[in-house]
Structure 1
Amino acid sequence: MANTMLQLKTNELLIDINPQNLAINITELSNKNIWTMREATDLDVLMQDNHGKEEWRSFTSFQSRETWISPDKTSVLINIPEACLALSVKIKNSNTVSFEVSPLNESDEFHPRDVLWPRHFIMPKNSDSYVAWPLNQGELMYGNKTTRFHHPEGYSEQAMSWFGAYKNGSGFVAIAHTPDDLYLAMWHDNNTAASAFIHWLPCHGHQRYSRKVTYQFGSKMDYKAMAKSYRKHIQESGQFVTLKEKYERNKNLEKLIGGCVLQCRAAMRNFREFTFDHIPFETTAKWLKTFKSQTGITNASVHLDGWGLHGYDNMHPDISPPNRTCGGSAGLKELSKTVHDLDYLFGLHDQYIDNYAHSPSHDPKDFKIKENGYPDKINNWAGGLCVHNCYTASLKYVKRNLFQGPKELYFRHNPPPIVSEYKTNAYYLDCFSRTVECFHPDHPLTRTQNREIQKEILRTVRTGNNGEGEPIALQIEHARDFILPEIDFAYGLGSVVEDVEVTDGSDVTETIGVSVPLWHLVFHDCCILPHTDNDTILNFLYGNPPWFRIGEWGDDFTTVNEKELTVKKRIMSLHKEVAFLEMTNHELLNHEGSIQRSDFEGISITADFKRKLVTITGGSSEINGEISCDF
């Protein structure tokens, strides 16, 4: 049967499969919309021999096929023995198709590593079609986009494990059911419109287990319906924890509902530029008192950067004792007391991924080792060269620093546990939620194990050392779907940008596609994602609390901009009303996305980015009306 076209059919879908080149046509019978999957390419599967030599192969380069079709014509199995893989296509119900890749009798001589299947559907090059891509907040990649990616697959880890596409009035959503070793790739060459597809990553060099993704088709499957399908999937998986449930387990979150984040600086010793900046803890305490007296704001979480010995991005994981120039331990304790007296949450910035070469605990036994046997020496921040910890070491140092206190010779004394000493009821852990492997012989980790240990770390912190202490309002940098049950707030995810090639070494980027709140359509009522700096309009549109910077190095803080305060208080009032609500709808009111509207169970926010104007309806008299964000 290898050279015979195969056909599957339900009352809604007709599927034609070429088992040799794996070209697939899926026809929606209700509207005759045809989805054509790209046939095999030269980059289908990365094979590796027992000497470590790698070669990309096309599925068509493997000559033998073993093909079966079920008697009811609802499933096809294609075994490719030379590739040591079995591919299957199954109709799950009338409008849902499952694609599975399974390892098959791996040879002693070679085995598959990466598998890029199912391939992308070929999209029309017009402005009415798009791909929904859940990178960062979420992007729509329209068919008439001309900008090309530098990398043929895009270049970042997805925030959620799904994608979708829309054309001719209908679309599909593809949901990965085995998301740990997954990369949502983007095909975008010079001749075709952008289109997403599945890249199954190896698990410690092998495929090892079956991988599965389902595609649900529908005539009304636009990007909003795609997001709601994924929301339902997460709810059914038992991993959907709402913000209201998180509030019930930690009433400190009350300070974030209708509140704001106050970012404060302490110190930074920049070893690259030979500079040192600092703001004494007592100065920050004075500024925070000024802020509350001027604004009357009662709900806030203080986020203090650079409080450790050498300041921001320095000497991790040995962050204690507090910076002496800023006031040392006594000064930080007094700042903590001030924040608690103001009835704000007190949170510290901390980092357990980067391991700095000048830290006393810097030890190769803790390093995350890549498959090539080398550590990740990719970062050179203010504190100089650092490598990445394995997450097994991250767990060890989180417990040691926050809840136990070091018990070895350590800066000539043993600092006490951070949480109990400085009364932190909020905490920020930088750089968490990246899914990586470790090949260190003493502590290897698969991506699945990596995710589990990250959840253990975050659960340990947010529960105050697994219930031994008070719960902590926990913030991380990168929100991801798998980590969401364990966190309370994170940085706003922002838009997807790509690097612009320049010759002067500057950092120049441009926006990719049109940003839409795919994340919030799924998870708005599960997590708080304040956008920093001047993303005021997005905080309105996405129903997030605002962010204030309380002073900068070299600048004094004397007063809050009156216009800024008026606008951000309005955002806070909006957040108080929508924090626990689902984002039920979103609309692009023009094609370029400069005017958008979001809806939260009856409360509607319209944002005009060019005019910097926001209009709210359906809420209380405190939030309804027009607001200018031009300040």
Structure 2
Amino acid sequence: MEIEYQNMKIKICERTLKIEIRYNETFWKSDSSYNPYFIENKQKYYLNEADIINHNKWENAIGIGIDTYFSGFGNFEKNYELMTRVWIEKNDKNVIFELIPIKEDEKISEICWPCHFEFEKKSQNWYTLINVQQGLLLPNTWENEFGMPFFDGQFCTSASYMPWYAQIKDGQGYLAICEQPWDAFYYVDHPAGGPYTHIGVRWVPSLGLMRYKRCIRMIFQENTDYTKICKKYKQYIKEQGKFITLKEKRIKLDVDKLVGAAIIHEGIKTSIANTSIFYDKNNIQNNYSLTTFEERKEEIINYSKLGLEKAYVHLDGWMQDGYDNKHPDALEACKEAGGWDAFRDFIKTLHDLGYAGGIHDQYRDFYFDAKSFSKEFACQNSDGNITVHQLWAGGKQSYLCASQVLPFVKRNYKNLEEHQIDLDGTYIDVFNCNEGDECYNYKHKMSRKECLDYRMQIFYYLISKGILTSSEEVTDWSLPGVVFAHYAPYNFMMYDQKAARNGIPVPLFNLVYHECVIIPWMMEKYKDEDYMLYALINGGIPYLKRESSYPNMDGCFGNDENLSLKERIKRCKIVMDLHKKVVYKELIKHEFIDNDYKKQKSVFSDGTEVEIDLNTNRFYIK
């Protein structure tokens, strides 16, 4: 069965369900060895083995397509029905894949449809674009296996800052946009050395059922590359009304406090509970540390004396119980560090120096020893229990249901106001990088999408209070409510510098969103690689100091060259000066020079050009 509209033709095999798409003279075919399926009670059922399969071709004013109806899957006691729709949107010739549940008497754990495309040629000109963190280009010839992405490839997390992927073969490519990403995962199959890369989508239930239509929108392009793919997605986001620039955010907030600033990330108190997996039984002294507000103040004053003109200070562990403890009850400034008076004086000092400051805050991790703790507030699993773990410093914890968060936020920030803590910004931990939660408590039942909406509500509330908002990383669902981030690194930066890399880093996120969010960049300098160059090529702001809250986490491994403070400030100034020029500008192009991925060039919309050479650790700004 086939449909055709102008230069687009689609064939579907009625027996195998394989799909072939021809765009002009380029063909994209389903992988012949892979069948669409769903999983129920750990058993896999293939769609082409349904008892009843009916195909129907249709055409109307806006499109032309093929519907396929499936019913009856052998061992099911009750029938299960669903429909797939593949159609061409006549206006712009996008191909839309729709998965539509009809009858759901059973709980399905996942559905994998449509199949990934064949992508088998061993060529560096055949490559896949993956939005793991800042972005990754994976050639079919890449020597390392891709492996398992963060969060098993769940969209709306650090595994995929943007809900799309793309493949390009000799300049011909497609962009696949997941239009309901909150209940979807991507998978990647790339063995060591290739010679292929397969990428596709797995759909998961929402509160136990598939419930609603799921869509993949494919946009096909000729003579394309990763920059053009990003610009096509940018156009799509603008059409959705979700593209909010820093200039627009500047209307409500003093964004300029962050423009051309260096980031200083440090803490006051650390106290690791003996129930935490980070608790060091052999070296008890490692479980506790304290730096007073006065000591931090003197440190900051010294930065100013050494010529640091502008900074934003991110303060961890400022509350009585220390970093990652007893959230959401951050209600008392650390007394041993000087209490509210010293905290207030610290913030005043920042402002006197022309610096800005904010705090670490947390409203997902829900600690059992917090006075506010109640299972009634926690996310309830489908079996009626709550998740319990003891990973972080505060020990035993669950997850606070996002639907319950806003009253805690209002309480805590009112408390800060009453103690005259004049914050410029705040960091709401993990909201952006971690997956959306589900909650089955009938009093506040919550889907993953609703969880993300509740998180956005927190960002909007803080903006209404004049506070610059940030979170751990960046995901485009949250960008309308976020001004800056903790970081948005390339994936390799989260591992030891010598670890094997799973592709070529490319700034996919910044090619779409550079003028929408301020991103701090790591500044470590290694013998054979200088991370400052990545800050420059991306037009971001620099980290002057970046303390790790836990050993060997968040990309902090402590094995870079030991530069003097003066040298680090000097390097920061280079990045800061560039940021002042390009912060509100679009990153219109990124490319590799002479096909060498270590030699890169960025072009911003004001004409600023940045070239870096990672072979020699040199850079050039025009």
TM-score by length of 2: 0.87
- Aligned equivalent of 1:179: 181
Alignment-derived partner of residue 530 in structure 1 = 520
Secondary structure (helix, strand or coil) at the match of 1:593 reads strand
Match of 1:62 among 9, 34, 50: 50
User: In the alignment, what sits opposite 1:436?
Assistant: 437
Query: Contact 2:587–2:602 at 8 Å: present in 1 too?
Result: yes
1:76 corresponds in structure 2 to 66
1:546 corresponds to: 542
Decide whether aligned partners of structure 1 residues 224 and 249 sit closer, same or farther in structure 2, where only a CA change above 3 A counts. same
Of 538, 561, 568 in structure 2, the residue corresponding to residue 564 of structure 1 is 568
Whole-Å Cα distance in 1 between the matches of residues 367 and 131 of structure 2? Answer: 32
Instruction: Find the counterpart in structure 1 of residue 556 from structure 2.
Output: none
Name the structure 2 match of 1:588.
592
1:74 counterpart SS class: strand
Deviation at 1:495, TM superposition (A): 2.2
Instruction: Classify 1:266/1:439 alpha carbon distance in 2 versus 1 (closer, same or farther; 3 Å).
Output: same
Equivalence for 2:164: 162
CA positional deviation for 1:499: 10
C-alpha distance in 2 between matches for 1:333 and 1:566: 30
**Structure 2: which amino acid aligns with 1:300?**
A
Whole-Å separation in 2 of the counterparts to 1:512 and 1:168: 21
2:201 corresponds to: 198
Deviation at 1:85, TM superposition (A): 1.1
Structure-1 residue corresponding to 2:96:
98
Taking the TM superposition and a 5 Å limit, the aligned residue runs for 1:423-462 are 423-433=422-432, 434-462=435-463
Tell me how far apart the structure 2 counterparts of residues 45 and 550 of structure 1 sit (CA, whole Å): 45
Measure how far apart 1:270 and its partner are: 2.0
- Look up the equivalent residue of 1:362 and give its one-letter code: F
How far apart, CA to CA, are the structure 2 residues paired with 1:480 and 1:17?
Answer: 35
Inter-partner Cα distance in structure 2 for 1:532 and 1:385: 31
> What is the CA-CA distance between 1:63 and the residue it aligns to?
3.1
Q: Deviation per CA, 1:571-616, whole angstroms, max 9, x where unpaired?
A: 1110011000000001022556222111111211111223221111
Write the distance in 2 (CA, Å) between the matches of 1:168 and 1:362: 57
Following TM superposition, by how much is the alpha carbon of 1:419 offset from its aligned partner in structure 2, in angstroms? 7.3
Q: Does the alignment pair 1:85 with 2:82?
A: yes
Verify: 1:122 aligned to 2:118, yes or no.
yes
| Partner Cα distance (2:32, 2:418) in 1 | 56
**How far off is 1:343 after superposition?**
2.4
What's the offset of the Cα at 1:78?
Answer: 0.4
**CA–CA distance in structure 1, aligned partners of residues 493 and 22 of structure 2:** 34
With over 3 angstroms needed to count, the CA separation of the structure-2 counterparts of 1:136 and 1:64, relative to structure 1, is same
Q: State whether structure 2 residue 248 is matched by structure 1 residue 245.
A: yes
Choose which of 270, 293, 313 in structure 2 pairs with 1:302.
313
Q: 1:522 to 1:605 in 2, by over 3 A?
A: same
Instruction: Name the residue aligned to 1:519.
Output: 509
SS of residue in 1 equivalent to 2:236: helix
- 1:606 counterpart = 2:618: no
Residue type at the aligned position of 1:446: S
Q: Cα deviations across residues 189-224 of structure 1 (Å, max 9, x unaligned)?
A: 688622221222211111111111211111123211
Q: Is 1:140 matched up with 2:152?
A: no
Aligned length: 574
Contact 2:99 2:215 in 1 (8 A): yes
Please say if 1:15 is aligned against 2:10. Answer: yes
- In structure 2, relative to structure 1, the CA distance for the partners of 1:194 and 1:615 (3 Å cut) is same
Give 1:548's aligned amino acid: L
Deviation at 1:476, TM superposition (A): 0.8
Given residue 208 of structure 1, which amino acid in structure 2 is its aligned partner? R
Larger deviation, residues 78-87 vs 514-523? 78-87
Q: What residue in structure 1 maps to residue 481 of structure 2?
A: 486
> How big is each residue's C-alpha offset from its partner over 1:223-251, in whole Å with a ceiling of 9 and x where there is no partner?
11111111111111111110111112112
Relative distance call for 1:327 and 1:221 in structure 2 (3 A) is same
- 1:202 counterpart SS class: coil
2:226 equivalent in structure 1: 223
Whole-Å separation in 2 of the counterparts to 1:288 and 1:581: 30
In structure 2, the partner of 1:263 is 265
Report the secondary structure of 2:270's partner residue. Answer: strand
Residue 300 of structure 2 corresponds to which residue in structure 1? 288
1:615 is aligned to 2:620: yes
CA drift of 1:288 comes to 1.1
Deviations 1:342-373 (A, max 9, x none): 22222111111111222222221222223344
Q: Distance in 1 between matches of 2:331 and 2:398?
A: 19
Structure 1 residue 551: Cα displacement: 8.4
Instruction: In structure 2, give the amino acid aligned to 1:278.
Output: L
Cα separation, partners in 2 of 1:370 and 1:612, compared to 1, 3 Å: farther
> Which range moves more in the overlay, 361-370 or 211-220?
361-370
What is residue 552 of structure 2 aligned with on the other side? none
Post-superposition CA distance 1:60-118 (Å, at most 9, x none): 22131111112589310001123411101111136421110101233x4x354422111
8 Å CA contact 2:39–2:109 kept in 1: the answer is: yes
Amino acid corresponding to residue 206 of structure 1 in structure 2: L
- Correspondence 1:597 to 2:601: yes
| Shift of residue 282, structure 1, vs aligned partner | 0.5
Q: 1:116 to 1:401 in 2, by over 3 A?
A: same
Give, in angstroms, the shift of residue 448 of structure 1.
Answer: 1.6
Match of 1:621 in 2: none
Identity %: 25
Between the aligned partners of 2:13 and 2:135, the Cα distance in structure 1 is: 33
Over 3 Å counting, the alpha-carbon distance change for 1:510 and 1:402 in structure 2 is: farther
Q: Aligned letter for 2:185?
A: Y
Report the CA distance between 1:424 and its aligned residue: 1.0
Letter of the aligned partner of 1:89 in structure 2?
A: V
